[in-house]
Amino acid sequence: MKFQDVKETFPTRSLVTLRGKRQEPLREGCVDVTSLSAQQVESGGAPFSDLSTAKYIVLETYRKNGNPVRTPVWFVEDNGSVYVRTGAKSGKVKRLRRNPSLKLARSNGRGEPKGPWIDATATFALDQEKQVALDRLKQKYGLQWKMVNLFHRIQGRTDDTLLSIRPKTMT
């Protein structure tokens, strides 16, 4: 039985994704267009421009078996990149060393997404990027930043690393 025969025998009104959700198929001749927010339009469509007013983002990294892991984090956006400070031995660092692809979205402190997901790639920030990003994080989070740093020093956690996250380029 050929694909065309199956299609005619079993016509479908909707598609079922791998996660079991129903999705309407695109009509022929339609183009799937990603909508841009007002902030993205003003900034020329920059993917991270929506994040400028957010306090948290949620990172979705992937385990070896492909299962996603969502983590809410503090961040700062600078020159088209998002910077996130995290422990050098944290789970997200281990997952990103294996697979640097991730998704991110605005979120609340519990990691519930509050905006569209953005496909991105993470690398470890260079030394010249680190100090600028850390200064911006200190400025953005103020007293909270100082408190977290105090607790980290008390616990002996001084092995932080800085992630540099850039949007995936569309080809």
Q: What are the pLDDT digits (tens) for 91-128? A: 999 999 999 999 999 999 999 999 999 999 999 998 88
What's the confidence (pLDDT) of residue 8?
52
Cα 83 → chain centroid: 11
29 Rama sector, left if φ>0, alpha if ψ -120 to 50, beta otherwise: left
What's the confidence (pLDDT) of residue 72?
95
Could you tell me if 118 and 136 are in contact, meaning their C-beta atoms sit under 8 angstroms apart? no
Any idea which of 4-8, 50-54, 83-87 has the lowest mean pLDDT? Answer: 4-8
Alpha-carbon distance 38 to 125, whole Å? 30
- Name the pLDDT band for 53 (thresholds 50, 70, 90): confident
SS3 160: strand
* Whole-model pTM over 0.75: no
Alpha-carbon distance 15 to 130, whole Å? 45
Angle at 13 between CA 10 and CA 16, to 5 degrees: 85
49-167 fold: Pnp Oxidase; Chain A (2.30.110)
Percentage, residues of the chain above pLDDT 70: 71
